């Protein structure tokens, strides 16, 4: 009943949500238009992939790599494949999709930063064979300990890393996963999304546990060459969404293309 109450008392007008549902069901308008009004599944996935593709195109790349860390049952990875298809059609930039997961569910841990009060070991186990069948050739699954799969991962030289979507729940897994941002083939600014930094009252995430702790440690460990920043492009939105707080950008200041301007012509503000 509480969800029904929230549906009718949410700060956004009910008619707007109704129209969004119609746009989504009938696929009205262009992909960027539907993305802008959230008439897509998991708009945060689409936002990160689409804007990574725009950056790549402006820098002269024909393709990008995007990864989901923490695939679980596979609903998110299938959604990511759908967004990748839309982005290819809209931008002309190819999108190579990878999914990282242990396959066996969350590992056992005795580290208090791993939110042991929330997540029983073995949670979110994957049916690997079933998921491989569903995704076919649309994505590549990398099954194993994230410390090992990330260490051996190399995006294709022709498709630099553009977006990383992290849903690993635990501090230890996330801090290991963030090493993927150090791959040689990457965009100067990589779009990142973190699932487990907001949540329900029982989660009680803080700056010293879970994915938040991993983000803070990552930033503290850099010597000025990189910074994982909140996506400040959402500040001031008339209808802010909760997921805006979950999107970050990894700025790699020493990347050879960091200072390349993405605009072809100088901006002007002439007087009338």
Tell me the pLDDT tens digit for each residue of 239-266. Answer: 789 999 999 999 999 999 999 999 988 9
Structural fold of domain 41-252: Rossmann fold (3.40.50)
Tell me the pLDDT tens digit for each residue of 185-195. Answer: 999 999 999 99
SS3 content of the chain, % helix, strand, coil (to 5): 40, 15, 45
Given a contact cutoff of 8 angstroms between Cβ atoms, the answer to whether 70 and 172 are in contact is no
Q: Are strands 63-69 and 226-230 parallel, antiparallel or unpaired?
A: unpaired
Report the alpha-carbon distance of residue 153 to residue 143 in Å, rounded.
Answer: 12
What pLDDT is attached to residue 264? 86
pLDDT of 196 strictly over 90 = yes
> What is the CB neighbour count within 10 angstroms for residue 187?
23
Identify the burial level of 39 via C-beta atoms within 10 angstroms of its C-beta, where 0-12 means exposed, 13-18 middle and 19 or more buried: buried
- Split at pLDDT 50, 70, 90, the class of 1 is very low
Q: What is the mean pLDDT of residues 174-202?
A: 96
Domain boundaries, given as residue ranges, for the chain: 1-40, 41-252
Given a contact cutoff of 8 angstroms between Cβ atoms, the answer to whether 124 and 105 are in contact is yes
pLDDT of 171 strictly over 80 = yes
- Percent of the chain past pLDDT 90, that is, above it, reads 81
Query: Strand, helix or coil at 116?
Result: coil
Report the alpha-carbon distance of residue 121 to residue 139 in Å, rounded.
Answer: 27
- Split at pLDDT 50, 70, 90, the class of 7 is low
CA 196 to chain centroid = 12
Q: What is the mean pLDDT of residues 93-115?
A: 97
Q: Which two tokens stand for residue 245?
A: 């707080």
Tell me the pLDDT tens digit for each residue of 34-83. Answer: 999 889 999 999 999 999 999 999 999 999 999 999 999 999 999 999 99
């Amino acid at each position: 009943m509480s969800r029904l109450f929230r549906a009718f008392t949410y700060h956004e007008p009910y008619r707007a949500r109704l129209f969004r549902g119609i746009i989504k069901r009938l696929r009205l308008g262009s992909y960027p238009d539907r993305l802008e009004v959230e008439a897509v599944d998991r708009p945060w996935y689409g936002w990160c992939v689409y804007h990574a593709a725009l950056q790549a195109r402006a820098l002269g790349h024909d393709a990008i790599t995007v990864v989901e860390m923490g695939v679980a049952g596979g609903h998110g990875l299938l959604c990511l494949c759908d967004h990748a298809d839309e982005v290819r059609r809209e931008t002309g930039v190819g999108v190579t999709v990878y999914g990282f997961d242990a396959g066996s569910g969350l590992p056992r841990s005795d580290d208090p930063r791993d939110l042991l009060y929330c997540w029983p070991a073995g949670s979110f186990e994957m049916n690997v064979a079933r998921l491989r069948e569903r995704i076919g050739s649309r994505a590549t699954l990398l099954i194993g300990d994230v410390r090992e799969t990330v260490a051996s991962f190399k995006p294709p030289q022709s498709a630099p890393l553009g977006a990383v979507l992290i849903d690993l729940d635990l501090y230890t897994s996330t801090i290991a996963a963030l090493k993927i941002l150090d791959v040689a083939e990457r965009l100067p600014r990589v779009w990142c999304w973190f699932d487990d930094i907001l949540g329900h009252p029982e989660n009680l995430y803080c700056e010293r546990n879970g994915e938040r702790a991993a983000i803070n440690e990552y930033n503290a460990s850099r010597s000025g060459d990189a910074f994982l920043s909140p996506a400040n492009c959402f500040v001031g939105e008339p209808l802010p969404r909760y997921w805006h707080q979950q999107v970050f950008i990894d700025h790699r200041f020493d990347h050879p293309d960091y200072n390349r301007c993405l605009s072809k012509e100088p901006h002007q503000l002439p007087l009338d």
